[in-house]
Every structure is written in C-alpha cells, then in structure tokens.
A and B are shown apart, each in its own frame.
Chain A
Amino acid sequence: DGGITQSPKYLFRKEGQNVTLSCEQNLNHDAMYWYRQDPGQGLRLIYYSQIVNDFQKGDIAEGYSVSREKKESFPLTVTSAQKNPTAFYLCASSIAGGETQYFGPGTRLLVL
C-alpha cells in the first residue's frame, strides 16, 4: 500500500535532549513537509523540502532541524533549543509544491 508513515506514534523527551521524528513515504513524491499542531489550533509549517538535498524554513523553524538525503525520507529533529516542544507533529508529501498534500498519522511529542 502506498502512503506516509510516521514513527513513533508517541515520543517522550527529557529536558535538554534532542529527539528525531521519522517520516517515510512510498508515493514517489518530490515534496515533503513538517507541520506542528497545538491543541485547538491549526497547522503551522516548520520545514519543507521540494527536492532531495534541499529544504527551506517554514514559519516556525527555530529549534528544529531536518535533512533530506533520500526522496522517501524527511526526518525532523527537535533540538534542545525548542523550549516548548509538546505538540502533535504531522508530516505530509505532495507530487510538487502547491499540489495536494497527503498526511501521515502524526507523532505526539511529550516532555518529561
């Protein structure tokens, strides 16, 4: 089945720790995205990538980092510089920027 997978479903972070959220897609999409969603709020764009080895900051990139070494993978690292990381993180992909985005099931990050 084609789709987007995110792991883990739940992730716990200790203070000062970096954690990495996984996002994999087998849709052969060029573009991939990371969004943050806080309770009762919409989606805010963290980073996006339109092609391998290239990515751009979104609206709230501070405290996050990404890599795009392979077309199918776009991991997000939440660094210790992100002081309020508790949120629901959604990964998406599309054939190209501006086109229909397809979403993974999300990862909920909690701080211990």
Chain B
Amino acid sequence: AQSVTQPDIHITVSEGASLELRCNYSYGATPYLFWYVQSPGQGLQLLLKYFSGDTLVQGIKGFEAEFKRSQSSFNLRKPSVHWSDAAEYFCAVGDNYGQNFVFGPGTRLSVLP
C-alpha cells in the first residue's frame, strides 16, 4: 500500500529565507506525486505535480519540487519565502492504476516578519 510521510509537523522561517519541506513516500512503482497548499478554513490548492520526465518540476507561486527515486523523496522548495506563504502544506501520492490517492499528514509553515 502507498504511504506518505512528512517528517516536519511545523516549520518556522523568516520572510526572505529559503524553504524546504520534506516528503517521503512508499510505493512499488513510479508514483504520481503532488504538493498542495491549504490556507486556514479553505480548500486545498494544487501547487505542482510530477508524473514523469524531468525530475525537477516548477509550480505556482515560485515553488519547485524535485523527485529523487533513490531516496523516495519529493521535497518542496522555495528560494525566498513571503509572509503570504504561511499555510499548511500537504504532499500526496497517486498511482497510475487509478486506484489510490494518499495524503501525508501535512506541514504547517509559519513565516516571521
């Protein structure tokens, strides 16, 4: 069965600092990988996704993520964080058999002025 771990429950960074949110997955084949962001009281918005091809994917709001098969990771990065990036971030894995879609527990990001 697929599983997703996000080791960091809560991260605090200063505005303008770089950011990396960790995501590790367990899946037997090549997974579909996603990052979503959720502002308080809102639905989830897709930031980026990886299905195949280039392992470095670009998303919205200046985010990028890198798929590393050898480490079973799909970490999210941003070079300079803005105060509006404070939110909850979820990593997710889907399969290409159309059967399952699993979310990680989420990482809450706080941004200091």
* A residues adjacent to B (C-beta < 8 A): 4, 6, 33, 40-43, 50, 88, 90, 92, 94, 96-106, 108
Contact present for B96 and A98 (CB under 8 Å): yes
Closest to B45 in A: A103
Q: In whole angstroms, how far apart are the Cα atoms of A77 and B67 in the complex? A: 39
Contact present for A98 and B95 (CB under 8 Å): yes
Contact count band on B: 20 to 34
Q: In whole angstroms, how far apart are the Cα atoms of A103 and B105 in the complex? A: 17
Give the chain B neighbours of A50 by CB distance below 8 A. Answer: 98
Contact present for A98 and B100 (CB under 8 Å): yes
Contact present for A43 and B90 (CB under 8 Å): yes
Contact present for B49 and A100 (CB under 8 Å): yes
Contact present for A106 and B98 (CB under 8 Å): no
Contact present for A42 and B43 (CB under 8 Å): no
Kindly list the 8 A-B residue pairs having the minimum CB-CB distance in the complex, ordered from nearest: A97-B98, A103-B43, A98-B94, A42-B105, A103-B44, A98-B98, A105-B43, A43-B103
Closest chain-B Cβ to A79's Cβ sits at a distance in Å of 24
Give the chain B neighbours of A96 by CB distance below 8 A. Answer: 98
In chain B between 67 and 113, which residues have their CB closer than 8 angstroms to a CB of chain A?
Answer: 90, 92, 94-101, 103-106, 108
- Of the candidates B32, B45, B105, which one forms a contact with A98 in the assembled complex, judged by CB atoms under 8 Å apart? B32
Closest chain-A Cβ to B86's Cβ sits at a distance in Å of 15
Closest to A88 in B: B41
Q: In whole angstroms, how far apart are the Cα atoms of A88 and B41 in the complex? A: 8
CB of B11 closer than 8 Å to a CB of A: no
Given contacts A98-B32, A98-B94, A98-B95, is CB(A106)–CB(B103) below 8 Å? no
Given contacts A41-B105, A42-B106, is CB(A97)–CB(B43) below 8 Å? no
Q: In whole angstroms, how far apart are the Cα atoms of A4 and B100 in the complex? A: 21
CB of B56 closer than 8 Å to a CB of A: no
Closest chain-A Cβ to B6's Cβ sits at a distance in Å of 9
Give the chain B neighbours of A105 by CB distance below 8 A. Answer: 42-43
Q: In whole angstroms, how far apart are the Cα atoms of A56 and B50 in the complex? A: 26
